[in-house]
Chain A
Amino acid sequence: MLTCQGISENATAYMEGALPQMKRLRVWTHLRICPACRRYLRQLRLVIGLTRHATHEPPPDTIEERLMLAFRQKRGGGTE
């Protein structure tokens, strides 16, 4: 029987699809009957999603303009 502690140890391998079939089935079965572990996995997924949303801060204007200059120098004309 997999305990919640066992689930936590296998959570990443499970989410990455890297568990052998029998183990995956045992995790899945535990999740069906354990709301706490379902919450745990859901929270892991949510926080991963959060990092994707949160990492889009634009650079300072000076850096942006320096890069734009480099681009125009190399790539010139275009559709401006």
Chain B
Amino acid sequence: MSRADLALAQRLKAGDAEAFRGLVRAQHNRMIRIAAALTQSAATAEEVVQDAWLVVIQRVDGYEGRAPLSAWIAGIVINKARDRAQRDGKIISFDAMAETEVEGPALAPERFAPDGHWADGMPAWETLTPERLVGDRQLLQKVLAALDSLPPAQRLAVLLRDVEGLEAVEVCRQLGVSDGNLRVLLHRARNRLREAADEELRIK
């Protein structure tokens, strides 16, 4: 239970517009990313998120703080995306998506020497100071581009588990996948993101 989230929810219930503005700034693009993994166009993703925000505004009275606010919001986005998919005559099945997204090994066999060691020795990265972490636009663009180009189920696994920080059990519930499938998705996705960052950060 998050006190900060409950306090924020209280302010929203009381009509504190600036609290809402802060929430929009913090959450909107995360919501867009979640919706984009579940819809066919940027325009549809925007519409889904708009609908989700209306639900947030209307239903914040019912938020009890059992899950973090961002998790509650993510769930609303996913539900709205599912509704939209149904309206458009599509079915979203993460298990089906997961199956097509996990063919072959997560790391190419040539990454390893015959004795099972890392072929390149896993070079160190330049020291990541906090300033570098948030200030290096090229690094951030690269990692975000890699995130946005992940296949949808892998992308959602990272968006919910890593970006939103939902518990694995909650992610499985929201997506309707087994914990084994979730780990497979996370494994692939995280490795790809690591590779993207590695290109920028590996000490040459």
Contact = CB atoms under 8 A, between A and B. Distances in A.
Contact of A51 (B15, B115, B143, B179): B143
Contacts of B24: 58-59, 64, 67-68
Q: Which are the 5 A-B pairs with shortest beta-carbon distances?
A: A78-B15, A3-B116, A36-B122, A12-B187, A75-B15
Interface of A: 3-6, 8-9, 11-13, 16, 18, 36-37, 39-40, 43-44, 46-59, 63-64, 66-68, 70-72, 74-80
7 contacts: A8-B112, A18-B183, A57-B29, A58-B25, A64-B25, A77-B15, A78-B17
Nearest to A69: B17
Interface string B104-133: 001100011001111001111100100001
Interface residues of B, number: 61
A51 B25 contact: no
A34 B181 CA distance: 28
A58 B28 contact: yes
Given A43-B197, A68-B17, A78-B14, A48 B190 contact: yes
B170 to A, nearest CB: 13
A46 B191 CA distance: 12
Given A50-B140, A50-B143, A63-B28, A12 B112 contact: no
A8 B107 contact: yes
B194 A5 contact: no
B95 to A, nearest CB: 18
A69 B118 CA distance: 55
Nearest to A51: B163
Contacts of B15: 72, 75-80
